[in-house]
Every structure is written in structure tokens, then in C-alpha cells.
Amino acid sequence: MIALISIISLFSIGLYVVLVIYLRIGWAKVTMPPVVAGSFKTKVTVLIAARNEEEKIHLTIEDILAQDYPKELVEIIIVDDHSTDNTAAIISSYAAQGVKLLQLKLGETLNSYKKKAIAEAIKLSTGELMVATDADCRMGNQWLRTIVGFYEQNNLVMISSPVTYFQEQSVFERMQTLDFSSLIGMGGAFLGQGFAATCNGANFAYRKDVFYEVGGFSGIDELASGDDELLLHKVGERYHGRIGFLKRREAIVYTHAKPNLKEFMQQRRRWASKSTKYKNKKMVAFALSVWLCNFMLLLTAVLGLYDAYFFRLFLITIGIKYLTDMMYMTPIMNFLKRRELLWYVSFVLPLNIIYFVIIGFLGKNKKYAWKGRMVK
């Protein structure tokens, strides 16, 4: 038994190192010269699905209205998803500035209200390029022109752009920023290797005709989540090589970390639930390999409480993982200009191991709370 656990432990950490080196190379491949556009020609529809966002949605709308992009080429559609606060009224107050409010009023119970909201907005849209973000996000005034310039210059059908947390109020939130950055970097790294694996719907653009060509959210609409990643997979199957990651700081969208552990775990359960719909065997194998590495680290740590051999094995493998994670995270945090958060790797690493193993199990549990509803 000792020999078997040792072999699996060393194999899993070795495989993890190989996979992370693959990602590190992929991130380096995504080199992005400045996006230069003289005269834009693409009509853009900015899509937002909002539910009970009265606190911050005005800031998001103001940022979008302030974009350095031709006003006649920008359409803003915000869908109010049965809000019980003043969200709809706040959106309506911007009607004179061209912001369109679409109120979702459905009699039937759905599981994926957000996908329904986005699909209805796309039906109403007149733009060529759909640019989706969230109702609690902030962006600089070069955001749209950077995305569209990248789109026009590279003949792309879909663009994943970076998202990060900001204005952290606690150590817990700063630790989330580091962890979240690793996921954003992973999406960019995979695309750098020509593989459409993961993205974030808070900064996601795609051609309207391509959305309909792949059947929209059909086939993935039974899950509440996945309006971004699962759609990416559908488009990736048909348009290999025409999906890009926009590695420019001007394209970054900023949002907030979760303020407490309960909300954090609910968020990660929601994200993990998408894995049940993964069809690409490479993506499934990658996720299982990372989970196995974390599981073996946790197992050897527990066994190390009773046996010094396993404790030494744990120290060796977690030391390798620490060095590997630092190699991977350093260029990503340099890009985000948050290098100071690398100090938190030592704290995040053991917690990451525990929650990653737990989330792997919880992600199979179909029901969870999201926006005041129980969904799956």
C-alpha cells in the first residue's frame, strides 16, 4: 500500500508539472501587439443580464457609455431578470442615452435564466459583434475599441478577454484574486496552444451569426451556468483557430471577489457544475489530472500525521507544486500588475488543495443557490 500511494503521488505531481509547463508555454505564446484601428466598421451590441444589481449597475453603465468608440456603432441592451429591487428603474433612467431595457417576464420556471436573458437580448440586437459583460463590472474607456480592433484585425469569431478582481477589502479577497487570476491565465494559455477550454462571461465577445450557427445555448441550456465556457466549446468545435485571447491591459474587466466563504463556495460549485457537460476528452483529462494531484497531496498530508514517511512525501510533492505554481503565476500576475499578490501563494496553496478536492465532489451535486434561486 505504501508503494502504491507513493507511485500514484509521484506520478500525479509529475503529470501536474508537465501540464503546468504546457500552460506556461501557452501563456507565453499569446503575444499581443498594440491594437491599432483607424476607422472602425463593426456594430457592437453590449449585453448584460442583471438581477438585483441596484448597488453597482450604474457604474457599469457609465463605464460603457464613456467608451472611446463611435457612439453610432454601439448598442447597449440590459436584460432585467426578475429583479426585486430598483435595478430596472436605474437602467430605465439611461434610456435617453440609448440604453435599452428588456425585462424578462416568464411565467414558466427555468433553470437557466441567464442564458434565456442573453438569448432574448441577442434576438433584439442589431450588432454584428456581441460583447457580454456583467452588471457589477468596471472597465476603462479603451475596452471596446481594443476588443473590436483585435476582432477586425484577426478575422476572429470569438474573443475571450481578461477579468480580474480589484478593490479587495481583506486577505481572503486578495487570496481569491490570486486564485481567480490562475483560472483566467489558464483560459488564455489554452487558447495560446490552440485549444478552446475556458473563459469568463464577464468579458466575452462573439459574432451574432456564429451564435446562431452553433445553435445558441441549445444543448447546454439545462444548466444554470455555462453561458460562457460551454458556448466556447461549441464554437471551438466548428471554428478551430479563430478564437482569440486578448492579452491587453486595456481589455481587462474588473469585478469583485466574494466577501465570505459561503458565497465563494457557492460560486465555485456553480463553476464546477459546468464540468458535467464537458465533451472534450482533453479537458476532462486535464481536470481529472489536477484533481488527482490535489487529492494525493491531501491524502499524504493526512497520512503524514501518523507516518513520517508520508509526511516527507507530502513535503516533497507540495514543494514541487509550490515552485511549479510560482513559475506559472508570475507572468500572469506581472501582466495584471498585481505581482505583490504572489506572496499569497504560500497561503493559497494548502487551502486550494482542500477546496479543489471538495469542489470536485460538490460540483456533482446538481442543486445550488444563485441570485436568490435554487438552480442546477
Q: Residues 70-100: pLDDT tens digits? A: 999 999 999 998 899 999 999 999 999 999 9
Q: How far apart are CA 252 and CA 138, in angstroms?
A: 9
**pTM across the whole model:** 0.90
Percent over 70 (pLDDT), the chain: 90
Dump pLDDT digits (tens) for 279-324. Answer: 677 888 888 899 999 999 999 999 999 999 999 999 999 999 999 9
Which strands form 44-50's sheet, in the order they lie side by side? 99-104, 74-81, 44-50, 129-134, 204-207, 158-160, 243-245
Dump pLDDT digits (tens) for 24-64. Answer: 999 999 987 777 766 899 999 999 999 999 999 999 999 99
Question: Tell me, which fold does domain 33-277 have in CATH?
Answer: Spore Coat Polysaccharide Biosynthesis Protein SpsA; Chain A (3.90.550)
Residues of the chain with CATH 3.90.550.10: 33-277
Sole residue written with cell 472597465: 139
Give which of 365, 372, 371 is closest to 273, Cα–Cα. Answer: 365
Q: How far apart are CA 111 and CA 107, in angstroms?
A: 13
Dump pLDDT digits (tens) for 327-355. Answer: 999 999 999 999 999 998 888 888 888 87
**pLDDT of amino acid 369:** 55
**pLDDT of amino acid 253:** 98
Relative orientation angle of helices 171-192 and 261-273, to the nearest 10 degrees: 20
**pLDDT of amino acid 263:** 86
Residue 1 — very low, low, confident or very high, per pLDDT cuts 50/70/90?
A: confident
156 neighbors 71 (Cβ within 8 angstroms): no
Neighbour tally for 267: CB within 10 Å? 17
**pLDDT of amino acid 108:** 58
Number of residues assigned to the chain: 376
**pLDDT of amino acid 109:** 58
User: Taking all residues of the chain, what is their mean pLDDT, rounded to a whole number?
Assistant: 89
Dump pLDDT digits (tens) for 138-152. Answer: 999 999 999 999 999
**pLDDT of amino acid 346:** 84
Residue 294 vs residue 224, higher pLDDT: 294
Percent over 90 (pLDDT), the chain: 70
